[in-house]
Structure formats: structure tokens, C-alpha cells
Structure 1
Amino acid sequence: MKSPVVWVTASLAAAIIVTATFLIATGTRGENSSFASSAGQLQVQTVAGGLVNPWALAFLPDGRMLVTERPGRMRLVTHEGQLSPPLKGVPEVWASGQGGLLDVIIDRSFADNSDIYFCYAQRAGNGGRTAVARAKLNAAAGRLDDVKVIFRQDGPLSSGNHYGCRIAQSPDGNLFVTLGEHFTYRDEAQNLANHLGKLIRIAPDGSVPSDNPFVGRDGARPEIWSYGHRNEQGLAFNPASGELWETEHGPRGGDEVNIISPGKNYGWPVIGFGIDYNGAKIHGSTSKPGMEQPVKYWVPSIAPSGMAFYTGELFPKWRGSLFTGALAGQMLVRLSLDGNKVTGEERLLRDLNERIRDVRQGPDGALYLLTDSTAGRILRVSPAK
């Protein structure tokens, strides 16, 4: 097991101060509701509304937030909870079906280089594919500069489904990106000759790290880190162990939480715990030698989405928990962990009746959620006063 990962920067300390100011400004804005939980009553505040299918949220060092909207817009959320105009310079996206502008993260050295990374559905021929871009955020001018596409998914094109498209950056700066199998081409998840149903690892400039597991192997794409995935919608490093965790959608049943290891096969569609949408059998079994087992699966499906490990101070009882949004399940899910074992599950905020697309821990220790609708919101979850 890798040694624990701790990331503490001066910019984070500054962000806590700025975010405190931000919360004073926004605390009386929007809706304010209370919900029961194992950590006591939860206060849910609307930080900002007016978003169309928001997909991803990233905190800047000064406490502002960067948010994507699936139709192709990226915005800043100010300290007052106001949305900026759409940032200029965002590439054209193919906003069809599940596609559009999807995940965004800031570089670990953002305070020095202003770099961000984002992924989106890119039109190609008669279909779409996942693309990853790097850019410099020019917040003062309201635009992205030096935009460069650093990766394009190779393989049969999507008709609008299963792009994956979550990004996580490791402490060494390399990027991990989830790539869906485009729904129609599920068997391609086992084919190392393309990027469908894979999790890849690339350098910040898009080049291939020399120690990737399939570098130099004939008939395999060198960017591949793991394979046999369906539609991976959550990705985060566990700060307690340094290991990479992932969530992905099953069909009817069989949503998974996986711990990712290089070169491993996670089984889709050969093994799994679900059935096809028409009730037909998909998998030969639930296990097979040489294929990895999930640490958690859901039957029926909840459609897990963005995920985050909680390390904050506002909820001391929840430190070390894994949180994931649920789209079909319309809730926030907390998984309690003992090392790499899931020991419990708590289903939260069900009365919100909202599809939760992303979950992030803010610099103030609160949980921030994105609701997936044409009237999408940023919500702040904290202990009730």
C-alpha cells in the first residue's frame, strides 16, 4: 500500500479565510433546509442557482468556484454567490445525449501556473468521443487562454452515451481520466487496441508516462492504465492510502466502487452483478480469474456520480468516509470505510428529490453538491446551527 498522501498549501489556508467571507455573504441567500443524518441535523443552503445541467465543480485557491454546464459553458462563482458570464475560449462541445462539457479540475500548482484541465464530448464524424484539454484560466479577463487538446479517445464513436470523463491528478502531476465504452460497444471494454471502457494515465501535456502498464505491448494503447470498465462517473484519490478509487454505472443493477490498480481488468461486460435493460442476461458470472472484484456494488442501481473522500473538521464523525452523488437514486450516499473495506452505507438528502451530479469538499470543510437539472444549483451541506 502506498504511503499516506497529505496536500497542504499556503493557498489552501488563504482559501479557508476567503471562503469564510464567501459563506457570510451567501449564508442568507437562497433556500435553507434541514435534513436528518447520523452526524445530526444537516443544513442545506443554495449557494447559486440558474445553472443548466451543471456537471463538475472545482475550488480555486481564493475560494471561488469553477463550474461546468453540460451545454458547453464554464463559469466562475463569485464570493457573493453570483455566476459570472460564460468564460470565453471554451471549445465547441457536442452537447447531445449524455455528452457535452463535463469534468474540470485545477492543476496542483494552479497558484503558480493557472492551469486547468477539462474533458468534454467532441464531435467526430457522425458521432462523439471524449477529449481532454488543458488551458490557463484568465479569471480577470473572463476567458481561457492557451487552450490545447491533449488527448482524444480512439475507437468506435458514441451516438451520445457513456463518455465517462472524470479527471483526477496524482501527486506526481499525471492525469487519470475515465473513458466510457459508448454503450453500444460494450465488448470493446476488453479490447486493449482502443480507449473504450478504459481508465487512462497521461502526463499534463498529453504524453504517455514511460511506466504505464501497457507501454511497449503490441496491440495495446499505451495510455491505458486499467480496462474492463463501463461508464465511470466518479474518480478520487483516497488521502488515507494514496490509492485511486472509482465508481461506474452498471446497467440494471451492478453499479460499482473499485480500487484501481495498473494493468488490471475490471470485468465489464464479462462479469458483473446486473442485467440488461430489457431483462436479458449480460454476464457469464459475477467473478472470473484474472478479473477484479468491486469493493462495493449496488443492486438495484443508484447511478453513482462525482465522489469525494471527507477529511474536514465540520463533520468529525464522518472523517474518512467516501461520499458519492446518486443520479437515479436522487440522493447523497456516504460509505463508511475500514481500510479498503466498505463497512456501512448511509443514504442522505433523499427528500431533496434531486439528481446529485458532483460532490466536493470545500476548503471550509462543508460538502458542496451539484444538482443535475435544467434548473441546476450549487448546494452547501453543513451542520445545522
Structure 2
Amino acid sequence: MPSRLARVVLLATLLAAGGTCAQTPPPAGVVRSEAADFRVEVFATGLEHPWGGAFLPDGRLLVTERPGRLRLIAPDGRVSAPLAGVPAVEAGGQGGLLDIALAPDFPASRELFLCHAALAEGGALTRLTRARLSADATALEAVRTVLDATPAQARGRNHFGCRIAFEPEGGRHLFLSTGDRFVEARRAQRLDDLAGKVLRLARDGGVPPDNPFAGRGDARGEIWSYGHRHPQGLAFQPGTGLLWASEFGPRGGDELNIIRRGANYGWPLVTHGVDYDGSVISERRSAPGMEDPVRVWTPVISPSGIAFYDAEAFPRWRGNLFIAALNRPALVRLAVEGERVTGEERLLPGLARFRHVLVGPEGFLYLLTDERAGRVLRLRPG
């Protein structure tokens, strides 16, 4: 008989990583929603569990596949062969090749950053890697590790976090989310441990001197905020510069948070959910000195990648936050005013498990589906 831990780990993996479901074709014709009419089209196919994406200046789209491949999608949807030079990843459970982000000076430097699960001494961890895209865009060059979210953990391949966001002003610093690694949730509260955190780094992995814990002997200087369970969405809000994060709760209690310097988001001392077997994690929903979420979902939506919409193709969506939801699959649209969510709409319910949402250079939305036969879907005005 499997142990309780083994059963809980298996259930968590199935819920968050996702199995393979029969593919549902996108709806034909115009989809009418509260704020915009749109059409859904299949932009690209033939991807295995696509996870992260980044648009090049020429309109091509780099997409990661969780098993460890990186591909380039042309504007007409043609998918390239896997790029050479991709670093080795630990592809198991929820781990693998996950997020990708271009450096703000990419047109000159051709630098990009990858977040992935990796093996290190002691087990698996979240790793940030820096590389340069070759001139012909067929390979990664000058690949080197920027940061390992230590300590590594021998047990479990869940909760790596792994979303990257560059600060909007100047792009000198990047933010990286890390998961609590699931097995020992209290790692999220430890300041000498990089699990369950949002980190703020210089591009070379150095610690900015104005980070809240920089220079402290009992804490890691890379930490910007802590007490996170499994943040898989990270995006800056246009106009305010606020950093928002979506975060998986356990059974109940998914969260949307505004990430503040030095703040504690409570996990696992505070939660709106229970464990997967129904047992109580904490009786507290809020506590002094801990940051409350902007929004909570129970039942869960399993929120993964997020993006603020700030383009012209859908004028009535400007300023809205879009969330790729895996469980109760949908594209979730939130109307946002400043730091408040004023409305919510579920788009395309049940169509696919959405892992990430991107705003394309022409202002269309692109959705990565977490499927074995993964797709990139495109939303364009109706």
C-alpha cells in the first residue's frame, strides 16, 4: 500500500502537471464574450507540453517543451527542429524545461534566460540559465548557470515555480519565482533557503544591494518575497510597475498576489485550502505581518502563466489580466483597477489545459496548451 505522502504526491502531480486528454478543436466562428468578440485559431501544433514562450523582435516565437526541447515557430506557424545547445533538464513529474524570457537588450545582445528543473548535488532544484541565441537561430551558445535555487531536494519532482519577469524600467534586474518543492512546505518560510520565494537578481545572478535581505548573515540576499507555495505566473502591470503573481494553492486556495519587497505571503502558516487528502494545513486564513492575496479561488483554477493586456487589437481588454488555467480549464480574464480586481470572466472553458498566455506583437493573444500533442492557439478580433 503506498504511503500517504506517495499518494498525495501522485495526486498533486496529476492535478498540476496534467495528464493527456482528448484534444478539443477550437470553436468555429466568432466567440462572443463580455468585453470583446474574437475568433480562435490553431497557430501551431506538434509540441509536447509547451510551457513558456517569448516573441523575437522579428515576430517569431520561441517555445519551450517540458521534456527539454526549445523550438522556434515562424509567423506562419511552422515549427522548427529542436534548437541545439539547450541545457540538460530534469524532466520528471512537474519538472523539465519551463520558462524562457528575452533580455531587454536582446536585439543587441541576443541573450535569453531559461528556467528549468535540474539535477545538482543532493537532488533536484530550480535553475536559472543564461544563453545567447545564435545568429541563425538554430542553437544556444555561451550557455551558463546563473543561479541554483538551493538546497537541492532528493525527494519529489514537483513545485519548481520557474517563471521569469524583467523589471520594466531599464531591465537591470530580473525576478524569478521558485516553488516550495512540495515535500517540505516549511522551506517557503526559511530565509536561508531559496525554495518558495520570489527572487530578485542582477543579470549575472548577483544580489542587488537594495534587496530586503542583502547583507544579512542569516538570510539569502536574492530573496525579494517569501512564503510562496508554487507561483507559476509573474507579470508587471503596465502603468503602475507592480509585480503580480499567480500561485497554486493546495486543495482550494489558489491565489493572486501583488509581490512587495520583503513581504511574507504566509504559506504554509496561512492558507485558504486544505491538503489533498482533506487534512487541515492551517486554521489561519490571515495573520499579522503576512500579506493577504488580492484574490482567492476555491474551487481551484490551477493558475499558471499570466499576462497583462496593453495592446490595440482588443481595446476593451486593455489593462486586463489574463490567466492560463489548468484545472477547470479556461482562460481567465480579470478586470483590474489599480490594485483591485473588479470583475472576472472565464473564456473558452474546457477547451484545453492552458499553461501560458502571451500577448503577440500584433496584439493577439497566444495560448500554450499543456497537452502531449500540444498546440499554440491564437485569439484574434472577431
Give the TM-score taking structure 2 as reference length: 0.90
Give the 3 Å change call, closer, same or farther, for CA 141–261 of structure 1 in structure 2: closer
Match of 1:214 in 2: 213
Deviation at 1:62, TM superposition (A): 0.4
Match of 2:202 in 1: 203
Q: Partner amino acid for 1:369?
A: L
1:176 maps to 2:172: no
Give the 3 Å change call, closer, same or farther, for CA 159–80 of structure 1 in structure 2: same
What's the CA shift string for 1:65-100, capped at 9, x where partnerless?
000000000011012211111110001101000000
Deviation at 1:155, TM superposition (A): 2.2
For 1:36 and 1:280, locate their aligned partners in 2 and report how far apart those are by CA, in whole Å.
41
Match of 1:193 in 2: 192
Match of 2:9 in 1: none
Q: Partner amino acid for 1:280?
A: S
1:53 maps to 2:53: no
Match of 2:162 in 1: 165
Q: Partner amino acid for 1:169?
A: F
SS in structure 1 at match of 2:228: coil
Match of 2:262 in 1: 263
Q: Partner amino acid for 2:284?
A: S
Count of residues in Structure 1 that have an aligned counterpart in Structure 2:
354
Match of 1:122 in 2: 118
Deviation at 1:126, TM superposition (A): 6.0
Match of 1:12 in 2: none
For 2:350 and 2:235, locate their aligned partners in 1 and report how far apart those are by CA, in whole Å.
27
SS in structure 1 at match of 2:108: helix
Q: Partner amino acid for 1:310?
A: Y
Deviation at 1:218, TM superposition (A): 2.4
Match of 1:355 in 2: 353
Match of 1:300 in 2: 299
SS in structure 1 at match of 2:188: helix
SS in structure 2 at match of 1:188: helix
What's the CA shift string for 1:252-305, capped at 9, x where partnerless?
111111101111100000111111111111113111000000001100110001
Deviation at 1:156, TM superposition (A): 4.8
Match of 2:103 in 1: 107
Question: Does structure 2 retain, via aligned residues, the 8 Å contact 1:32–1:46?
Answer: no
For 2:144 and 2:236, locate their aligned partners in 1 and report how far apart those are by CA, in whole Å.
26
For 2:219 and 2:328, locate their aligned partners in 1 and report how far apart those are by CA, in whole Å.
36
SS in structure 2 at match of 1:111: helix
1:140 maps to 2:139: no
Deviation at 1:373, TM superposition (A): 0.6
Match of 2:379 in 1: 381
Q: Partner amino acid for 2:353?
A: R
For 2:220 and 2:197, locate their aligned partners in 1 and report how far apart those are by CA, in whole Å.
10
SS in structure 1 at match of 2:163: strand
Q: In terms of mean alpha carbon deviation, does 365-374 or 77-86 score higher? A: 77-86
Deviation at 1:188, TM superposition (A): 1.1
Identity across the alignment (%) = 51
What's the Cα RMSD here?
Answer: 1.3
Deviation at 1:128, TM superposition (A): 1.1
1:91 maps to 2:87: yes
Give the 3 Å change call, closer, same or farther, for CA 102–139 of structure 1 in structure 2: farther
Match of 2:73 in 1: 77
For 2:73 and 2:206, locate their aligned partners in 1 and report how far apart those are by CA, in whole Å.
32
Match of 1:342 in 2: 341
For 1:154 and 1:94, locate their aligned partners in 2 and report how far apart those are by CA, in whole Å.
15
Q: Structure 1 stretches of 5 or more lacking a match? A: 1-29
For 1:329 and 1:266, locate their aligned partners in 2 and report how far apart those are by CA, in whole Å.
25
Give the TM-score taking structure 1 as reference length: 0.90
For 2:163 and 2:32, locate their aligned partners in 1 and report how far apart those are by CA, in whole Å.
30
